[in-house]
Chain A
Amino acid sequence: MARLIAILVGLGFTLVVLISFGVDTYTSITEPAPETAEHKFHLEPKAVSFPHDGVFGKWDTAQLQRGYVVYKEVCAACHSMKFVAFRDLADLGYTEPEVQALAAEWQVPGVDPQTGEAVLRAGEPTDYFPSPYPNAVAAAAANNNAIPPDLSLMAKARHGGAEYIYSLLTGYQEPSEELLAEFPEAAPGQGLYHNPYFPNLNLAMAPPLTATGQVSYEDGTEATIPQMAKDVSAFLSWTAEPTKVKRTQTGWPVLGFVLFATILAYLSKKQIWAAVKPAKRKD
């Protein structure tokens, strides 16, 4: 009886899902879904390598410091970085007085101790990076209704991570003839810019890196557009996961210990079972 009911229920679900299959297959053959510009012209991120990549990676503090300059001079005009505090900059190889000096270059919201009024004051190491806009409405109003996303976690929040950021920053271009011929509606509209690395091909952010020497690096590195893009991508990898290098460096001793323990466990297992294990026989 149980089996009969089960067979009927099973055949029922099978029948219904096969009807769905038949209808969907018929539809997709008679009315194939149109090809989309996003599907055909979107590019996967370029392959870029960073010193902190991989299981043996280490931060290149000189690169992170350069990336910080790019963030401060370029990105910070529109993008917040709310999960990162000035004190965190010590990771980039700055000393405590240097961190204090870097923090003091920023104006953060504060309270006047005499009057209690909202004022801007110089940043301190315990402060977090301030937002360039007082609120989301102001951010949208200043940017053609597209709120510039917070950059703290950008390298983890996008498929491709730092490579995606690098590709996006260096990927602005005129839409190809082929694209415009096939999908005229994919041409960037008012206030939009074409970039094949962006999922829907047109984004509201104007190309932020426009000329060599846009920022000046203290270490004498030439600030070309790819150089700046790479440095700021590395910097954003750090802001997304400041503990990344500590994590991989912790992993090795942990794995070493567990491997040692596993070998011991294997040997004791072998020893204990030796008495009851028969000679190998094939089954």
Chain B
Amino acid sequence: MANDEYDFLFKVVLIGDSGVGKSNLLSRFTRNEFNLDSKSTIGVEFATRSIQIDNKTIKAQIWDTAGQERYRAITSAYYRGAVGALLVYDISKSLSFENVTRWLKELRDHADSNIVIMLVGNKTDQRHLRAVPTEDGKNFASENGLSFIETSALEATNVDLAFQNILTSIYQIVSSKSLAEEGADVGKKFDPREGNNISLSQEGTKQEKQGCC
């Protein structure tokens, strides 16, 4: 049973070509495990981990899906409610980087328009095979308004940081929003049982508060 308590629950999805290491990023972050022979994902996997930000407990519900799925049968279910996305490519496979554009389009088509997106160049352990320079990733990210990081799930480099950063970004949007709402007559409006929701897009005035990165 989920007897854990948390202040926020954020759904984050992992997307990117098949074999770029999405499942290992997930297992590294949630269980600190890496499996060189990990099986390909069929359908969906999902795991959670809670972290502390600003003395608040953030429960990250991270979804991982089969990379092959431009044939995805479950696209809408997968993106529904996601507030963050890690768009992963493999720095040793240029094709996986070229396909980032396609994934970005899928996100724009199916996910909430305010979803926070982070571009992740994985497998930095494959130094000798690098096919995508760090600069290319950075440039693409800034051109498209994404944040960017390079990771190695195998060496556990930057994996926690990547998740922490994206969760912090999401959290800051939410918390700054709630500050702005403070004092307003929102009690009824935000009764979750009535299906009302806070939208990130209502807020954006407290950006100076963020200090995570």
Check if A and B associate.
Answer: no
